[in-house]
């Protein structure tokens, strides 16, 4: 594993899943994520894991939810159209608190769109695609090596917070090949909290845990509990009692949003004295970083804030970065989905300017440089 080699982003994702302890994959092939399934189909069986090619993305979600309930680390990979089909069962995983990972290698849409090109159009879908009040975790790596480590992080966060986690790649990252060198030092691996009480004392969705995350018993381990997509009480049974419903829904959100400082990570480049702030993620962040370096050589004080964690959105951190800037420019391959979140928290006198592209092509550094100069 520690040999230097040339690796594709989708392969790095598969390798990260194995390193995190994933032993179950169910999915349906879809461009540009298909390689994740191909790599898992060859890697899982020899190690005793299970790979299943499902009939569609809905069945894929059902399979990984079931596998996770049985105690396995399970995941699937898809792209925009498949991710759309997964939303109902994503909501089911949220309300039943089943830890799973969904890899979404984004392509242009809506609908079938441009299957072989790149986009970042699923940002809001990752947060609000399923209905009702809830919270999710979504990560967006910007390199092959980071894809490996953020895939591990995705499984760790899913297990720690007993919640679905979405890994948002884009086609540029999924199909990019780069130097891959995993050091010998072991990475941290987190496993879900399991009950230590007697089976008769187990409460599957207790509100008494200080971190808001109840222990999760494996099916077949002797702990009997009810799993339903209906609003339920602490024991998992349907309830319409207002205090029980309110407490349950608020805890589902709070267990993520109250830990935003622990979950959300960023990279900062040239922020100390910057006057024009760029905020970019995924593959576009690489163009933004190159633009910052170019602008600095021209005497323009630009800086980059790169969110690695897209959701939960860190209001305070983004607001602080925007404060005092002449302008904030948000380049992204959509019509401003993340820019709207930045605008929501930025100080009133700081203009937030989207730089958008939706034709399937990557925003290049020259476009970012030109936009900064236009704004100034």
Answer yes or no: are the C-beta atoms of 79 and 114 closer than 8 Å. no
**What pLDDT was estimated at residue 35?**
98
Fold classified for 5-180: Rossmann fold (3.40.50)
Longest dimension (CA), the chain: 69
- DSSP-assigned states of every residue in 133-154: S---EEE---SHHHHHHHHHHH
**What pLDDT was estimated at residue 2?**
60
**What pLDDT was estimated at residue 208?**
86
Gap between the Cα atoms of 127 and 270, Å rounded: 29
**What pLDDT was estimated at residue 348?**
94
Answer yes or no: are the C-beta atoms of 242 and 200 closer than 8 Å. no
Instruction: Give me the tens of pLDDT residue by residue for the chain, a chain 376 residues long.
Output: 567 899 999 999 999 999 999 999 999 999 999 999 999 999 999 999 999 999 999 999 999 999 999 999 999 999 999 999 999 999 999 999 999 999 999 999 999 999 999 999 999 999 999 999 999 999 999 999 999 999 999 999 999 999 999 999 999 999 999 999 987 667 899 999 999 999 999 999 998 889 999 999 999 999 999 999 999 999 999 999 999 999 999 999 999 999 999 999 999 999 999 999 999 999 999 999 999 999 999 999 999 999 999 999 999 999 999 999 999 999 999 999 999 999 999 999 999 999 999 999 999 999 999 999 999 8
Helix (H) / strand (E) element for 90: namely helix 87-96
- The CA R_g of the chain, rounded to the nearest whole Å, is 21
The CATH class given to the 267-375 domain equals alpha beta
Question: Residue 274: which residues within 8 A CB-CB, separation 6 or more?
Answer: 301, 302, 303, 325
Q: What residue spans define the domains of the chain?
A: 5-180, 267-375
Gap between the Cα atoms of 315 and 260, Å rounded: 9
């Amino acid at each position: 594993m520690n040999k230097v080699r040339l690796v594709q982003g989708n392969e790095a994702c598969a390798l990260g899943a194995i390193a995190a302890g994933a032993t179950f994959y169910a999915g349906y092939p879809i461009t540009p994520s298909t390689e994740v399934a191909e790599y898992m189909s060859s890697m899982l069986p020899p190690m005793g894991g299970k790979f299943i090619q499902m009939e569609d993305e809905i069945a894929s979600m059902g399979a990984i939810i079931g596998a996770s309930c049985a105690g396995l680390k399970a995941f699937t990979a898809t792209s925009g159209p498949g991710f759309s089909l997964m939303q109902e069962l994503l909501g089911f995983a949220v309300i039943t608190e089943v830890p799973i990972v969904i890899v979404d290698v984004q392509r242009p849409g809506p609908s079938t769109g441009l299957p072989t090109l790149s986009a970042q159009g699923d940002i809001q879908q990752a947060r609000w695609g399923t209905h009702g009040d809830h919270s999710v975790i979504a990560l967006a790596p910007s390199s092959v090596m980071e894809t490996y480590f953020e895939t591990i992080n995705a499984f760790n966060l899913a297990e720690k917070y007993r919640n679905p986690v979405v890994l948002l790649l884009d086609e540029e990252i999924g199909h990019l090949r780069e130097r891959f060198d995993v050091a010998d030092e072991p990475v941290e691996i987190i496993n879900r909290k399991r009950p230590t009480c007697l089976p008769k004392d187990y409460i599957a969705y207790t509100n008494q845990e200080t971190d808001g995350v109840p222990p999760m018993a494996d099916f077949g381990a002797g702990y009997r509990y009810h799993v339903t997509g209906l609003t339920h009480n602490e024991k998992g049974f349907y309830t319409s009692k207002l205090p029980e419903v309110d407490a349950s829904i608020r805890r589902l959100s709070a267990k993520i949003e109250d830990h935003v400082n622990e979950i959300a990570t960023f990279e900062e480049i040239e922020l100390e004295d910057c006057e024009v702030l760029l905020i970019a993620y995924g593959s576009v962040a690489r163009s933004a970083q190159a633009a910052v370096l170019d602008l600095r050589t021209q005497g323009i004080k630009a800086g980059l804030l790169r969110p690695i964690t897209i959701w939960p959105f860190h209001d305070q951190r983004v607001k602080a970065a925007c404060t005092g800037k002449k302008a904030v420019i948000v380049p992204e391959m959509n019509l401003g989905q993340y820019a709207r979140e930045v605008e929501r928290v930025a100080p009133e006198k700081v203009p937030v300017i989207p730089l958008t592209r939706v034709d399937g092509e990557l925003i290049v550094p020259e476009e970012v440089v030109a936009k900064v100069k236009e704004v100034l």
